[in-house]
Amino acid sequence: MLEQAAFTTQGHNPDILTCIASLSNDEVFTPPEFANQMLDTLERSWADANDGANIWADKSATFFDPVTKSGVFLREIARRLTEGLVEEIPDLEERVDHILTKQVYGIGITELTSLLARRSLYCSKYANGPHSIAKSFATEAGNIWFERSEHTWTGGKKEFITDPTTGQEVEQMVNRKCQYCGAKETEYARGEDLETHAYGFIHTDDIDARLTELFGENMHFDVIIGNPPYQMSTGGSGGAGVQARPIYNLFVQQAKSLDPRFLCMVTPSRWFSGGMGLSHFRKSMLNDDRLRIIKDFPDSNDVFPGTQIKGGISYFLWDRDSSGDTSVTTYDRGEVVSVATRPLLEEGSDVFIRYNDGVKILKKVMKVELGGAEVSLRLPDDKQFMQSVSSIGAFGLSTTFRGNEKRAVDDVLVFRNGGTGYISRSELTKETQAIDCWKVFIPRAGSGSDSFPHPILGRPFTGGPGTASSWTYLHIGPFKNEDQAKNVVSYIVTRLFRFLVLLHKPTQDATRSVYTFVPTQDFSRPWTDEELYAKYSITEDEIAFIESMIRPMDLNDE
């Protein structure tokens, strides 16, 4: 039956699950080919850990997708088990029923996706329906659960409002957030006709008890696998506008708490070195030596065509019973371009450096800057270019600032989004010491593309005394004169400078921290790539790699 369904699917082009468009950036459907790549990784790891045993021939192995959308993981797992258990359970109907009722489990993230997943897995809207290929379920949901969940609002402050119907003052709480996912009540307190996005897997204090309640027995899973929702809107404010809060980390942490034998999940790769509120998660992941495999796709279009996820995506395999260095594989346009086994955290670094060849180049730079000492990726403060870079919004002007068109006496020229404007000097209360110095301005966000070669940063330009900027730009300085500022610009436009930025830059945002690995130079003179390559003994092969990643920057281009 499942075999027959699979045969029918394979006989038509395309598989229906390849045709489904993602609902949004936080609910990305996994293509079947990619799901099978992850399952291949799991299969090899299981065999390595179990003396070559075939996971698909084990009728006791259990699999759980806590974030089921199309049902592709469960469907492909069931297909593989149907083939692998032929000898163990020869009767096809008995074998399929055993797999679907005893081995594969899921939690739908919305009502729609739970229905889609059941059709994918059971070939029926109802697990116990007449058309279902499972024959032993007593419930319509089977092993794919979904019920509407609500957020648990907490915190906030009291506010008194006038009830329009009574004219009486009443007390209410405002600015509350969900204690589990951090969602704002103003964004996600919704009526019955809208999804709450209060995902059942992470909205509980006791996930073990919750799963027992859902599936009717004390559940322990050998494998947890899935592609969780990536983010939730926070509403945003100030210079940054609407923002999105990562939530995939909550699914990973909850899955780990279940202590599976293997955990394999897709996530945005921005956790490697950035992401709002991800510092604790990043530290936890990078100090966990059971994270044995990372498969990295810097351009998300290579996996999810038509869906751009800034910083790319990756999947990892965590092995509860094995520890050591991590196998890191980088892909480009579907091809493997680099494989290395190395520590997740290099000495002196607080982020994961995603490019294997980048680690070697960075160590060369650090060795020169540290005088040939034992290699660390931590530059002393006096050698950090970052020390000259401002924070975002350093002058206190939002990205929507327009300013005056005409200049009055003692006004300051402000470089803003889309041009320039003027503001009275007295209105600037932050970074006032930088106003009358030479400095370099650089956009706080680079190009939105993740394809390579890439400029990495926006074009820098010099600003003389009497200048400032809105949230749109960071400033670098101060510098003694215009020549020194121009020499800094010459350094920034080199490919090596921007390559070192890339190693610490998770998305298009170019905040101060992305300059962590960049050493400062003698800015009494200009710099070229040829001079920097010679200074750090960069080889021809390494130059070719850098230049395959970093596009030349012509300051004369518009």
pLDDT in tens, 89-124: 999 999 999 999 999 999 999 999 999 999 999 999
For residue 225, the number of C-alpha atoms closer than 13 Å in the C-beta half-sphere is 26
Cis peptide before 478 (omega within 30 of 0): yes
Pairing of strands 231-233, 411-416: unpaired
For residue 37, the number of C-alpha atoms closer than 13 Å in the C-beta half-sphere is 21
Consecutive H or E run containing 248:
helix 248-257
Q: What average pLDDT is seen over the chain?
A: 90
* 8 Å CB contact between 385 and 519: yes
Alpha-carbon distance 99 to 60, whole Å? 9
- Closest C-alpha among 406, 427, 414 to residue 469: 414
* 8 Å CB contact between 327 and 269: no
pLDDT beyond 90 at 245: no
- Closest C-alpha among 496, 416, 399 to residue 456: 496
Alpha-carbon distance 525 to 229, whole Å? 49
pLDDT in tens, 117-161: 999 999 999 999 999 999 999 999 999 999 999 999 999 888 877
pTM above 0.85, yes or no: yes
Identify the pLDDT of residue 558: 44
What torsion do the CA atoms of 347, 352, 354, 357 make, to the nearest 10 degrees? 0
Residue 556: pLDDT band (50, 70, 90) is confident
- Closest C-alpha among 553, 442, 445, 444 to residue 499: 553
Phi, psi values for residue 304, rounded to 5°:
-115, 85
Tokens read off for 56: 């698909």
pLDDT in tens, 426-446: 999 899 999 999 999 999 987
pLDDT beyond 60 at 381: yes
pLDDT beyond 70 at 494: yes
Residue type, 4: Q
Burial of 99 (0-12, 13-18, 19+ CB in 10 A): buried
| 3-class SS of residue 93 | helix
pLDDT in tens, 336-362: 999 999 999 999 999 999 999 999 999
Identify the pLDDT of residue 557: 52
